[in-house]
Homo-oligomer: A and B are copies of this chain.
Amino acid sequence: MRRKIRMGMVGGGRGAFIGGVHRMAAALDGHIDLVCGAFSSDSEKSRLSGQDLYLPEDRVYDSYSQMILTEKELPVGVRMDFVSIVTPNHMHFGPAKMALENGFHVVCDKPLCLTKKEAEELVDLVNKSGLIFALTHNYTGYPMVKQAKAMIRNGALGHIRKVVVEYPQGWLSTLLEADANAKQAIWRTDPNQSGAAGSMGDIGTHAENLAEYITGLKISEMCADLSIFVPGRKLDDDGNVLLRFENGAKGVLHASQICNGEENNLNIRVYGEKGGIAWRQMEPNTLTVIYQDKPSTIYRTGWAGLEREAIAHTRIPAGHPEGYLEAFANIYRNFAFCIQARLSGEEVDPLYTDFPSIEDGLRGMNFVEKVVASKGEWIKM
Using a CB–CB cutoff of 8 Å, the interface residues on chain A facing chain B are 1-4, 17, 20-21, 23-24, 27-31, 34, 51, 53-54, 157, 161-162, 164, 166, 168-171, 173, 223, 225, 227, 229, 238, 240, 242-244, 250-252, 254, 256, 258-265, 269, 271-276, 281-285, 289-300, 302-305, 315-326, 376, 378
Q: A252-B240, A296-B298, A299-B295 are in contact. Are A325 and B170 (CB under 8 A)?
A: no
Q: A223-B242, A321-B323 are in contact. List 18 more A-B contacts (CB 8 A).
A: A1-B51, A24-B28, A24-B29, A27-B27, A161-B229, A173-B273, A223-B225, A260-B291, A261-B292, A262-B271, A262-B290, A263-B302, A263-B319, A264-B317, A283-B283, A323-B323, A323-B326, A325-B326
Whether B261 pairs with A170 at a CB distance below 8 angstroms is no
Q: A34-B30, A54-B30, A297-B297 are in contact. Are A273 and B260 (CB under 8 A)?
A: yes
- Residues on B with C-beta less than 8 A from A263 are 300, 302, 317-319
Within the complex, what minimum Cβ distance (angstroms) separates A199 from chain B? Answer: 12
Pick from B53, B223, B273, B316: contact of A30, CB below 8 A: B53
Pick from B54, B293, B319: contact of A3, CB below 8 A: B54
Whether B170 pairs with A292 at a CB distance below 8 angstroms is yes
- Residues on B with C-beta less than 8 A from A320 are 264, 323-325
Give CA–CA (A267, B380) in the complex, Å. 31
Query: This chain: how many copies in the complex?
Result: 4
Give CA–CA (A318, B24) in the complex, Å. 17
- Residues on B with C-beta less than 8 A from A166 are 164
Interface centre among A21, A284, A293, A294 (most CB of B within 10 A): A293
Whether B318 pairs with A238 at a CB distance below 8 angstroms is no
Which residue of chain B has its CB nearest to the CB of A51? B1
Give CA–CA (A346, B27) in the complex, Å. 27
Q: A170-B271, A240-B251 are in contact. Are A325 and B324 (CB under 8 A)?
A: no
- Residues on B with C-beta less than 8 A from A326 are 323, 325
Pick from B1, B24, B283, B315: contact of A315, CB below 8 A: B24
Which residue of chain B has its CB nearest to the CB of A324? B320
Whether B299 pairs with A271 at a CB distance below 8 angstroms is no
Give CA–CA (A268, B252) in the complex, Å. 15
Within the complex, what minimum Cβ distance (angstroms) separates A42 from chain B? Answer: 21
Whether A275 pairs with B291 at a CB distance below 8 angstroms is no
Pick from B2, B27, B238, B252: contact of A54, CB below 8 A: B2
Give CA–CA (A24, B24) in the complex, Å. 10
Whether A296 pairs with B252 at a CB distance below 8 angstroms is no
Within the complex, what minimum Cβ distance (angstroms) separates A318 from chain B? Answer: 4
- Residues on B with C-beta less than 8 A from A51 are 1
Q: Which 10 residue pairs are nearest across A and B when measured between Cβ atoms?
A: A264-B319, A261-B290, A263-B319, A323-B323, A321-B323, A320-B324, A296-B298, A261-B276, A295-B297, A263-B318
Interface centre among A53, A173, A229, A376 (most CB of B within 10 A): A173
Whether A305 pairs with B321 at a CB distance below 8 angstroms is no
Pick from B169, B294, B316: contact of A21, CB below 8 A: B316
Q: A223-B376, A274-B260 are in contact. Are A316 and B321 (CB under 8 A)?
A: no
Give CA–CA (A265, B290) in the complex, Å. 12
Whether A54 pairs with B271 at a CB distance below 8 angstroms is no
Whether B295 pairs with A300 at a CB distance below 8 angstroms is yes
Give CA–CA (A293, B290) in the complex, Å. 19
Give CA–CA (A297, B291) in the complex, Å. 11
